[in-house]
Chain A
Amino acid sequence: AQSVTQLDSQVPVFEEAPVELRCNYSSSVSVYLFWYVQYPNQGLQLLLKYLSGSTLVESINGFEAEFNKSQTSFHLRKPSVHISDTAEYFCAVRWNTGRRALTFGSGTRLQVQP
């Protein structure tokens, strides 16, 4: 079965430090990749997406992710985090075959400390 793995359940980091949240998926067939962010007791908000084209995608608040087909990864990075980035981050994949729905990773809780 196709799966999405987020290896780190929690990532503590100090404010203004860089951070990387890792995401790997199980199959290298044609995929569409997403990162969502969730603040406490809220729904998910789209952070960024890769559908085609440039393998490096950016969000409006400084996050970026790079699609690496050979490593089947879509890691999320930010060069300098803020306290307000504290949230849970979910990687999601839609494969271009089979079920037309997203498969989510288990999430990574980013905890930014002052």
Chain B
Amino acid sequence: DGGITQSPKYLFRKEGQNVTLSCEQNLNHDAMYWYRQDPGQGLRLIYYSQIVNDFQKGDIAEGYSVSREKKESFPLTVTSAQKNPTAFYLCASSINPAASGRINEQFFGPGTRLTVL
């Protein structure tokens, strides 16, 4: 059963702590993305990766870090430098258009709701 999994579904963090959100996909997609969703603001791109061992900053990368050591995995770390981390975080993946020569939609995971206490 192919898809994207994110864990945990709910996450609580004390102020000042780093926390890592997991994202795994078995769709054999090259590209992966992290978005943050806040009420009334839609989705904002945090980081994205077109291929293993490479990633780029999105619109709101400050206070976040990522790694892409494996094709299937793209974990997101929310650091203590992120001033307002409470949000719903969505991971997505797609076929890499640069490699395939065609555009494809992004497939989304179920999300992780992070709350800072």
Contact = CB atoms under 8 A, between A and B. Distances in A.
Interface string A18-51: 0000000000000010101000011111100101
Given A32-B103, A100-B98, A101-B33, A41 B43 contact: no
B25 interface: no
A42 B110 contact: yes
Contacts of B42: 4, 6, 90, 104-107
A42 B56 CA distance: 26
Contact of B50 (A34, A36, A100): A100
Nearest to B97: A100
B111 A106 contact: no
Interface size class of A (residues with CB under 8 A): 20 to 34
Q: Is the interface of B mostly helix, strand, loop or mixed?
A: strand
A42 B33 contact: no
Interface residues of B, number: 29
Interface in B12-50: 31, 33, 35, 40-45, 48, 50
B110 A43 contact: yes
B98 A104 contact: no
A42 B108 CA distance: 9
17 contacts: A9-B40, A41-B111, A43-B4, A43-B108, A44-B43, A44-B108, A51-B103, A94-B103, A99-B56, A100-B31, A100-B48, A100-B98, A101-B48, A101-B58, A102-B33, A103-B45, A107-B40
Interface of B: 4, 6, 31, 33, 35, 40-45, 48, 50, 56, 58, 90, 92, 97-98, 102-103, 105-111, 113
Interface of A: 4, 6, 9, 32, 34, 36, 41-46, 49, 51, 90, 94, 99-107
